[in-house]
Amino acid sequence: MDIIKVSGSSRTSAVAGAIAGVFRENKRAEVQAIGAGAVNQAIKAMVLARGYLKEDGYEVICAPEFADVDIDGKVRTAIKLVVEERAPGTNQVIITPKQNAA
């Protein structure tokens, strides 16, 4: 599963569509953003994606994490949003096994 990378100039609706598409295919998605503008776009896209997925009967949540990313030999700290399905009517997350990268 690919990580959806967001920049400060990313179109919110395009990122939301990517989140929803990856989630529909894998029942999980990961969104990565570095910098305030990128995190802002990622959060707005997450709100839109929740709406798109709700129309399909999915209730999703996102859990933020820090991730170290190597860019041109420098380690930068990114915010990673892990998107997972929540069990309907509960606060429990439906755990889906991570797919190993090939």
Give pLDDT, residue 88.
67
pTM equals 0.84
Element (H, E) at 31: strand 28-33
pLDDT of 91 above 80: no
Q: For residue range 14-69, what is the model confidence (pLDDT) as tens digits?
A: 999 999 999 999 999 999 999 999 999 999 999 999 999 999 999 999 999 999 99
Contact predicate 1/29, CB 8 Å? yes
Structure tokens at 30: 């990961």
Looking at residue 14, which CATH number applies to its domain? 3.30.110.20
Query: Residue 57: which domain range?
Result: 4-85
Contact predicate 32/4, CB 8 Å? yes
Domain count of the fold of the chain: 1
Instruction: Examine residue 20 and state whether it is found in any structural domain, yes or no.
Output: yes
